[in-house]
Amino acid sequence: MNLFNVYPINPINIVKAEGSTVWDSEGNEYLDLYGGHAVISIGHTHPHYVQRITEQLNNIGFYSNSIEIPIQQQLAARLGEVSGKVDYTLFLCNSGAEANENALKLASFHTGRKKVIAFTKAFHGRTSLAVAATDNPSIVAPVNETDNVVFLPFNDEDALTNAFAEFGDEIAAVIIEGIQGVGGIREASVSFLKLIRSLCDQYGSVYIADSVQCGYGRTGQFYSHDYAGVEADIYSMAKGMGNGFPIGGIAIAPKFKASYGLLGTTFGGNHLACAAAVAVLDIIKQDNLLANAASVGSYLIQELKKFDKVEEVRGRGLMIGIELPVELANVKKDVLVKNRIFTGEAKPNVIRILPALNITKEIADQFLTALDQRLKA
C-alpha cells in the first residue's frame, strides 16, 4: 500500500528536534520558525513536556470518557487560570476542525437556528460544517455545500450590519479568526470584533472565536481576539494546545447548558493528550511566554518593516505575515534551501512566521539576516 498523495512535500526527512532546531536524516541543521503550522508552542522535545507525557504513558495512556479522568479537570482549571476565562467550561476533542465542528453544532443547539456567518478568506477546517464555513471552494466537496453558511467581506462593518438586519433572527453563529492564518495573516479590526459582539447580543446569536491557529498565546495574549476587549461565547483551540500531540477543545461561556450526549468523542480528553496539554500550560505560565511572544514578535515586526522590498508586514506577536512582490516569490523556498530555515506561506506571496513562543531575539536576528541575504540575492 502507498500513501494517498495529497501533500506537496519538501524532500527533507526530519529525524531529531530540540527547541527551535531540527535535524534531517543527513545531519543538516535547520531553524524551525513554522512549527508545523503553529503547532510547536513551547519548542520541540521540551524536557518538562517529555517528562509529563512519559510519566503518564507509564501509568495509562487511554481510556474512554465513560470513567473519571481527573487530569481533564486539572487541564480545565489550568486553562481557565492561564487564559483568564475561569468561569467557562471545557469540552475536549482531537483537532481544530473538530473543535470548530462542535462549536458550530453547540451554537445551533443553543439557538435552534441554522445560519452561520463566515468571512472571505476564512479557514476553519476541512470537515463537514467547518469546511463549509471555509472560503476555499476547491476543498468543499458537493456533500459539504450548504446554503446555511453566508460569507461576508472580512472587516466590512456595513455588510455585517446589513446581514443581521435582513436575517438576524436566523443566525445561529458568527465564526471568525482573530487573525486569519491561511488567509494571509489578516487581522480583524477591534471595531469589527466589537460589532460582532454587539450584534450577537442584540439578535441572540453566538460569537465563535476561532483561536485554533491564532490563539494559545501566539499573539502575546492568550486568545488573539482578546485585543478587542470583548469576550466571545465559544473559543475553539487546538494546534499549540498540545505542542504536537493531537488535542483540541472549545471553551464555553456559562450561558450554555450541558446535557448527556449533546457532544461526544471517543479519543478527546484522553489521559495522554491531557498530560501534553497540561505540560504546555505549565511552561507558558512558568516561562511567561505570552510576554515573550509579544516582545520578540514586536521586535521582529519592527525590523521587518525596515526592508524596502517587503510590501507589507502584518500580524501580532509571533503570528507574522511578510508580503512580498511577485518577482520575489522564490524567497521562501530559498530561505529553506539556502539558509535552512523553515517558514510557512499563504498564497500568493506571503511568508508566514509561526515559531515557538519561547524563541529569543537572537533567533529572530538569525532569520532577519537570512531574509536580508535572500532579498539582496
What per-residue confidence (pLDDT) applies to 259?
97
The answer to whether the beta carbons of residues 310 and 304 sit under 8 Å apart is: yes
| pTM across the whole model | 0.97
CATH homologous superfamily of domain 14-46+288-376? Aspartate Aminotransferase, domain 1 (3.90.1150.10)
| Interstrand relation of 171-177 and 115-119 (parallel, antiparallel or unpaired) | parallel
Q: Is 23 helix (H, G, I), strand (E, B) or coil?
A: strand
What per-residue confidence (pLDDT) applies to 347?
86
The answer to whether the beta carbons of residues 78 and 278 sit under 8 Å apart is: yes
The answer to whether the beta carbons of residues 136 and 171 sit under 8 Å apart is: no
**pLDDT tens series, the chain, 377 aa:** 999 999 999 999 999 999 999 999 999 999 999 999 999 999 999 999 999 999 999 999 999 999 999 999 999 999 999 999 999 999 999 999 999 999 999 999 999 999 999 999 999 999 999 999 999 999 999 999 999 999 999 999 999 999 999 999 999 999 999 999 999 999 999 999 999 999 999 999 999 999 999 999 999 999 999 999 999 999 999 999 999 999 999 999 999 999 999 999 999 999 999 999 999 999 999 999 999 999 999 999 999 999 999 999 999 999 999 999 999 999 999 999 999 999 999 988 999 999 999 999 999 999 999 999 999 98
Query: Which of 41, 36, 52 lies closest to 272 in space, CA to CA?
Result: 52
Separation CA 18–CA 66 (nearest Å): 37
Task: Using only the alpha carbons of the chain, give its radius of gyration.
Answer: 20
Separation CA 75–CA 90 (nearest Å): 9
Separation CA 124–CA 145 (nearest Å): 15
Q: Where are the domains of the chain?
A: 14-46+288-376, 47-286
The per-residue pLDDT for range 302-349, each reduced to its tens digit, is: 999 999 999 999 999 999 999 999 999 999 999 999 999 999 999 889
The number of CA neighbours under 13 Å toward the Cβ of 370 is 22
The partner residues of 313 in beta bridges, in order of sequence, read 322
Angle, CA 86 vertex, CA 188 and CA 264 arms, to 5°: 80
Neighbours of 312 (CB within 10 A): 13
The partner residues of 149 in beta bridges, in order of sequence, read 116
Grid cell digits, residue 279 = 505540560
Q: Which fold has domain 47-286?
A: Aspartate Aminotransferase; domain 2 (3.40.640)
What per-residue confidence (pLDDT) applies to 134?
98
The per-residue pLDDT for range 18-47, each reduced to its tens digit, is: 999 999 999 999 999 999 999 999 999 999
